[in-house]
Amino acid sequence: MSDPTSAMTSSGGAVVTGEAEVSSSSRSTFLWRLASFALAFGLWELVGRIEISLAFPPASAVMRAFFEMTASGEFFASYADSLPPLLVGLFITIVGGVSIGVAVGLARTAEWFFVPVLVIFQTAPVSAIIPLLTYVYGIDDRSKIVAIVILGLPLVALNSYKGIQATSPSLLAMARSFMTSRLDTIRLVILPSASEMIFAGLRLGVSGAFIGIVLAELLITPTGIGDLITYNRSIARYDKMFAAIVSILALAAVTLGLMQSLETRLFRTEKRT
Amino acid sequence: MRTSPFWSLIFWAGLWELAGRMGWIDLIPPLSATWIAILELFERQTFWDALELTARTFLIGLGLAIAVGIPIGILMGLSRRADKLLSVWVNLFLSAPLTAVVPALMPLLGIGEATVIATVFLFSVWVVIIDSQAGVAHVSTSLVEMGRVFGCTRRRIVFEIVVPAALPEIITGIRLAVIRAVKGVIVGQIIIALIGFGGLFDTFLSMFLMERFWALIIILFAMSFTLIGLIELIERRIAFYAGTR
Amino acid sequence: MSVATANPTAAAGAGEAAEPILRVRDVGVVYSGSTVALDGADLDVPEGQLTALLGPSGCGKTTLLKIIAGLLEPSSGSVTVRGREIEGPGPDRALVFQDFALLPWATVLDNVAFGLRARGVARKEREETAQHYINEVGLGGFEARYPHELSGGMRQRAGLARALAVNADVLLMDEPFSAVDEQMRRKLQEDLLDLLKIENKTVVFVTHSIEEAVYLADQVAILSRRPGRVAKIIRPDLDRSGDVDAIRRLPSYVELVDEIWASLKHYVE
């Protein structure tokens, strides 16, 4: 279909409601985002003020606690405990996940060996194993790192594997017909074609890694940001508890957002506006 | 060489048995001992109580997520404005470490089933919303135009064309929600560590009953796989939808 | 309900345009402020005849058809059916889609009856009507099948039956045979001509195939690009009285295809 009609009528989700075309300039995007934040925090503030429970403070109180904790260095101390194992865990997750995924995608034996186990780790509630880690590594950083890797690595590996599996057969046939060596086929055809999916897998892996560190700090190692959450709950400083939760959610969102924009830059040139 | 993944699992099981027998790692008993522990677990009332609690909280949480997620997703698919207003949050929570929120639920909802239900809901609702939205937003333009040409009211177009056409994506959303809900029901219970399987895990670990711990893990994994397999079966039955669009 | 008027083939044979049932006047379309898709398009569609809209990609022929269908609103100009200006889709026009637009979860019978159902026709009546047109387009025996069980050609037959079933005077067809293979396309073209001998319909038919336009149409409207408007009207005036198969062998058919190609060539880079 080459007529511009399709471009006009299918450009968005509002095909049925017939809403006026909302301009997608960066300024209106910014305004919508602002409205979206205002709506969420407004609702939070409102529900918090009704005082359904002391354990649900309004957004403003949490904000205040957030700045207080930033100024007093509480956040700094907690993240100094959480970030090093998070970074080490992420490094292992990314490097290990991509290596295993690529190996599994290229070699039949590795595929047979690893894929069923990876699928189990991706689908099953592996978080149940995490409490056990204390018995292996005690409460030092290693248990956090292992928790991150358990929850993040299978996602990265499986996505890399799927990306390689999805290489277009006609591209492979093309490479073969030009008598490209196996190494060149991998280097010039398979990896570039899989790179987008591998990168998407990295985002899943990072998301899993954040879940892993939080779970580890809540369940086994009472340090870092997880401890900040549990400690403030135990002394009923719910504003501080929510501030700590918001901080880790925001950190994860910002990290994933940066990865997403990097991904758009790298791969989807047509999405850049 | 193309052998079934089944043999791969048998191989890993063999490795597990060997590791247990040689006593390489204290925490890993031989697989055979774990099998016996599974049978023992089946004879204990605490196991069945935990299973019942898990099933109940899982079903209620997932049911709520589906009942709330589908309408919101459809609304976002139909209205650009609703989409712009909500999609930031839906996308944020879709990949957020929601485990961090569970501790905040406990003082709100108490240390009990309500917290587990809320955890299941929080884990699974976002993916239902996202997939319902995508399904509705990507319904073929010509199907909608067809409805307009033949004089359908907007209501009829939404309920008799758009929503049924989005059904494959909605089902996919539900399947992904089931996977997340399984994780949610376990995370909720192990963070609370007092009720259901969370309580059992805690007891087994503190008493160093490794056979029982692993037996429970195997049972949980097997149950989640059976459940997800069932959903995939349903999904495949309506796969022809997508092919003709 | 259309009254039985002059036989379309007779009208074509006479080489005279019948009274226009549909008029397009000075229609312009501007996308998002700057891109001009159509600019002052004029067209008269004679009743009971087949008018082909022919043009290169991007000349706005599908846009024009969707404006006639009432799916798009033109930025300027008007479309009238029997003298009345259209305001959106109406029961006097039915559209056949390029991608068939069949409901995947409904049987052929339910798909064909869809337009009648939207109009509130009772089940028994609409199923009888649908069955009649299913037989007429040659889908008899497939009424209980689902679209995914049919070939592309059969799916478009169902799309055609659905448009016929609502008994609109004007049938709008948007490159209806472009998604099927060449042999099937020929068969569908021949069957369409046979069908139009029975059904007295006015047809507006969008195509990018010169051969298809000349073969089917009583009137070919050639659209130009930039400005998107009707640049030329050609009346093929072929002898369609005999076998539909014979048309492709007529010398005048071959000459006309050549002539149109000569005039369209400069639009193709």
Inspect the interface and report whether the beta carbons of C58 and A4 lie closer than 8 Å. yes
Confidence bin at B5 (pLDDT 50/70/90): confident
Q: Burial of A155 by CB count in 10 Å (0-12 exposed, 13-18 middle, 19+ buried)?
A: buried
Lowest mean pLDDT among A67-76, A259-268, B78-87: A259-268
Inspect the interface and report whether the beta carbons of B149 and C88 lie closer than 8 Å. no
Is C15's pLDDT higher than 70? no
Is C157's pLDDT higher than 70? yes
- Nearest CB among A37, A233, A253 relative to B96 is that of A253
Q: Is A18 a domain residue?
A: no
Residues of C114-125 as b/e, b for ≥16 C-beta within 10 angstroms?
A: bbbbbeebeeee
The answer to whether A101 and A156 are in contact (CB under 8 A) is yes
Lowest mean pLDDT among A24-28, A238-242, C131-135: A24-28
Residue C74: asked if its preceding bond is cis (omega within 30°), the reply is no
Confidence bin at C18 (pLDDT 50/70/90): low
**Closest C-alpha among A51, C120, A256 to residue B92:** A256
Confidence bin at A13 (pLDDT 50/70/90): very low
Average pLDDT over residues C136-151: 92
pLDDT score of A270: 52
Inspect the interface and report whether the beta carbons of B142 and C99 lie closer than 8 Å. yes
Backbone angles phi, psi at C170, to 5 degrees: -110, 125
Interface-testing mutation among A1, A3, A15, A21, with chain C (most C C-beta atoms within 10 A):
A3
Domain chopping of chain C, boundaries = 1-90+206-269
- Nearest CB among A55, A203, A204 relative to B107 is that of A55
Selected residue with higher pLDDT from B141 and A27: B141
Location of structure tokens 């193709």: C268
Inspect the interface and report whether the beta carbons of C104 and B245 lie closer than 8 Å. yes
Is B15's pLDDT higher than 70? yes
Supply the range of the domain harboring residue A139: 63-271
Average pLDDT over residues A147-162: 94
Start-to-end Cα distance in chain A: 23
DSSP A77-125: HHHHHHHHHHHHHHHHHHHHHHHHHHHHHH-HHHHHHHHHHHHHHHHS-
pLDDT score of C135: 95
pLDDT score of A25: 63
Lowest mean pLDDT among A191-195, B6-10, B31-35, C10-14: C10-14
Inspect the interface and report whether the beta carbons of B107 and A36 lie closer than 8 Å. no
Is C158's pLDDT higher than 60? yes
Q: Are residues A41 and A115 in the same domain?
A: no
B245 contact residues in C (CB cutoff 8 A): 104
Inspect the interface and report whether the beta carbons of C118 and B147 lie closer than 8 Å. yes
Three-class DSSP category at A220: coil
Neighbouring chains to C with at least 3 Cβ pairs closer than 8 Å: A, B
The answer to whether A161 and A191 are in contact (CB under 8 A) is no
- Report the percent of chain C where pLDDT is more than 90: 57
- Nearest CB among A16, A113, A117 relative to B162 is that of A16
Express each pLDDT in A77-116 by its tens digit: 999 999 999 999 999 999 999 999 999 999 888 888 889 8
Inspect the interface and report whether the beta carbons of B147 and C98 lie closer than 8 Å. no
Domain chopping of chain B, boundaries = 57-243
Express each pLDDT in C217-247 by its tens digit: 999 999 987 778 888 899 988 877 777 778 8
Helix (H) or strand (E) holding B201: helix B196-206
DSSP one-letter code for C86: P
Question: What's the CA gap between C71 and C37, in Å, rounded?
Answer: 15
Q: Are residues A227 and A94 in the same domain?
A: yes
Confidence bin at C200 (pLDDT 50/70/90): confident
The answer to whether A76 and A160 are in contact (CB under 8 A) is no
Location of structure tokens 């100024």: A71
A239 contact residues in B (CB cutoff 8 A): none
pLDDT score of B123: 96
B108 contact residues in A (CB cutoff 8 A): 53, 55-56
Question: What's the CA gap between B34 and B14, in Å, rounded?
Answer: 13
Confidence bin at B9 (pLDDT 50/70/90): confident
* Fold classified for C1-90+206-269: Rossmann fold (3.40.50)
Is A228's pLDDT higher than 80? yes
Average pLDDT over residues A131-156: 87
Q: Which residues pair with C44 in a beta bridge?
A: C23
Q: How is residue C28 written in tokens?
A: 């312009």
pLDDT score of C13: 41
Gap from A231 CA to chain C (nearest CA, Å):
55
Mean pLDDT of chain C: 87
Q: Are residues A143 and A247 in the same domain?
A: yes
**Closest C-alpha among B182, B183, B93 to residue B129:** B93
DSSP B52-118: HHHHHHHHHHHHHHHHHHHHHHHHHHH-HHHHHHHHHHHHHHHSS-GGGGHHHHHHHH-SSHHHHHH
pLDDT score of C153: 92
| pTM, to two decimals | 0.85
Average pLDDT over residues B102-129: 93
Gap from C138 CA to chain B (nearest CA, Å):
21
pLDDT score of C16: 52
pLDDT score of A267: 77
Express each pLDDT in C62-76 by its tens digit: 999 999 999 999 999
Q: What is the ipTM of this complex?
A: 0.87
Chain C interface, Cβ < 8 Å to A:
31-32, 35, 37, 57-63, 66, 71-72, 98
C61: closest chain A residue by CA: A3
Q: Are residues A40 and A71 in the same domain?
A: no
pLDDT score of A40: 92
Inspect the interface and report whether the beta carbons of B149 and C114 lie closer than 8 Å. no
A5 contact residues in C (CB cutoff 8 A): 37, 62-63, 66, 72
CA dist C217 → A41, A106, C176, C241, C251 (Å):
63, 56, 14, 14, 16
Q: Are residues A45 and A101 in the same domain?
A: no
Inspect the interface and report whether the beta carbons of A21 and C32 lie closer than 8 Å. yes
Mean pLDDT of chain B: 89
- Nearest CB among B27, B144, B220 relative to A136 is that of B27
Inspect the interface and report whether the beta carbons of B100 and A40 lie closer than 8 Å. no
Across chain B, the runs of DSSP E, i.e. the strands, are: none
Q: Is A226 a domain residue?
A: yes
pLDDT score of C5: 38
Helix (H) or strand (E) holding C23: strand C20-31
Q: Burial of B235 by CB count in 10 Å (0-12 exposed, 13-18 middle, 19+ buried)?
A: middle
Q: Are residues A159 and A234 in the same domain?
A: yes
The answer to whether A224 and A159 are in contact (CB under 8 A) is no
Q: How is residue B240 written in tokens?
A: 């022809």
Q: The CATH number of the domain where A89 resides is what?
A: 1.10.3720.10
Q: Is A16 a domain residue?
A: no
C66: closest chain B residue by CA: B145
Express each pLDDT in C80-139 by its tens digit: 999 999 988 999 999 999 999 999 889 999 999 999 998 889 999 999 999 999 999 999
Is C10's pLDDT higher than 60? no
Strand order in the sheet with C20-31: C35-46, C20-31, C76-81, C84-85
pLDDT score of B240: 65
Gap from C219 CA to chain B (nearest CA, Å):
24
pLDDT score of A268: 64
pLDDT score of A269: 55
Q: Is A7 a domain residue?
A: no
Average pLDDT over residues B57-86: 95
Instruction: Note the Cα C221 to chain centre separation in Å.
Output: 13
Q: Is A35 a domain residue?
A: yes
Q: Any chain B CB within 8 A of the CB of C146?
A: yes
Query: How many CA atoms, within 13 angstroms, populate the side-chain half-sphere of residue B216?
Result: 29
Q: Burial of B52 by CB count in 10 Å (0-12 exposed, 13-18 middle, 19+ buried)?
A: exposed
Q: Could you name the CATH architecture of B57-243?
A: Orthogonal Bundle (1.10)
CA dist B162 → A193, B134, B170, B188, C64 (Å):
34, 12, 12, 36, 25
Confidence bin at B242 (pLDDT 50/70/90): low
Interface-testing mutation among B6, B11, B80, B106, with chain A (most A C-beta atoms within 10 A):
B80
DSSP one-letter code for B24: S
Give the β-pairing of C50-54 and C202-207. parallel
Q: Are residues A122 and A178 in the same domain?
A: yes
B140: closest chain C residue by CA: C101
Inspect the interface and report whether the beta carbons of B244 and C66 lie closer than 8 Å. no
Express each pLDDT in B144-193 by its tens digit: 999 999 989 999 999 999 999 999 899 999 999 999 999 999 999 988 87
Q: Are residues A153 and A81 in the same domain?
A: yes
Interface-testing mutation among C27, C36, C66, C68, with chain A (most A C-beta atoms within 10 A):
C66
pLDDT score of B194: 83
Q: Are residues A81 and A160 in the same domain?
A: yes
Q: Are residues A94 and A42 in the same domain?
A: no
Average pLDDT over residues B134-140: 92
Q: Is A258 a domain residue?
A: yes
